[in-house]
Amino acid sequence: MSNVSVIGLGIMGLPMAIHLVKAGHTVTGFNRSPARVDALIKAGGLGASSVAEATRGAEVVITMLPDSPDVEGVVSGPEGVFVNAASGTLWIDASTIRPDIAKRLAADAADAGLRALDAPVSGGEQGAIDGVLSIMVGGDPADFESAQDVLRALGKTIVHVGPTGSGQTVKAANQLIVAVNIEVLAEAIVFLEAHGVDLDAALTVLGGGLAGSKVLEQKGKKMVTRNFEPGFRLALHHKDLGIVTAASREAGVFIPLGAAVAQLVAATVNKGDGALDHSALFKQVLQLSGRE
């Protein structure tokens, strides 16, 4: 078992850290909100008062943060991971960030004597709580193999998808698929409501056929009940779709549905709904249909 530090104990990071504790690892957590650190301590982990303190003595450092600047902020500088981690430490970035930033930071990590994997996750809050995340990993195959004991405590589907940055590229594709699915599910539910259909019955039968999906299973009820308590905040999906559209433009790839949904997500965030679950895209469909 390893000494693992988890930096970022948010909606996803805290349950991930707790699973590592349950797997027998010695887990030290750092978060800007002390209450999240206290929750990890209550679950059997340890707490740190800074990134530097969390990093010292760790064999594996996991960062789980909202965006590229957040990751850069905790790994760089005199108090950052790169300066305070011992040579040979494995750094696993489970955040969702730009692929080009992931590549650059991996190179900086190598210069500091660290081994880097970009390992973004999919499955949302429930997947993190259940320990069944899908983890797409970019980096050196040998480093991927050495991370197995840690990754297996967090996820069910763990796949090496290529060199550094590949994990973030696959995650961008994941976020594109999820966003389009959420939009189409929202449109379907508004359509069903307009026709007075029994929504519970409709979602049950749709879920059992070709229209069935994890998105329908996890987000359909939230739309029907208008319960948008965040499992994955709309503002973060807005950020992710910015990554997708920029990377697509760089590659010369046309994503018409993705571009349209990115605009709808942006409009919903700009209305002040960014803190809601990404299923709150449903609110935009309601408004466009005059049924808000």
Give CA separation, 92 vs 71, 96, 137, 238, 287, in Å. Answer: 11, 12, 9, 24, 41
DSSP 8-state code for residue 86: P
Per the listing, tokens 């489970």 go with 94
Give me the pLDDT at residue 1, please: 62
The structure tokens 């359909």 sit at: 220
CA-nearest of 198, 124, 123, 119 to 161 is 119
Which of the residues in the chain have pLDDT under 50? none
Catalytic residue among 103, 171, 219, 283, which?
Answer: 171
**Residue 34, CA atoms < 13 Å, CB-side half-sphere:** 1
The pLDDT tens digits of the residues spanning 98-110 come to 999 999 999 999 9
Q: Which domains does the chain have, with CATH numbers?
A: 3-162 (3.40.50.720), 170-288 (1.10.1040.10)
pLDDT for position 128: 96
Please state the φ and ψ torsions of residue 30, each to the nearest 5 degrees: -135, 140
**pLDDT value, residue 231:** 87
**Close Cβ partners of 104 (under 8 Å, ≥ 6 residues apart):** none
Predicted local confidence at residue 292, as pLDDT: 78
Annotated catalytic, 221? Answer: no
Terminal C-alpha separation, the chain: 52
* pLDDT of amino acid 151: 98
Strands 115-118 and 60-63, sheet pairing: unpaired
Q: Phi and psi of 270, rounded to 5°?
A: -65, -20
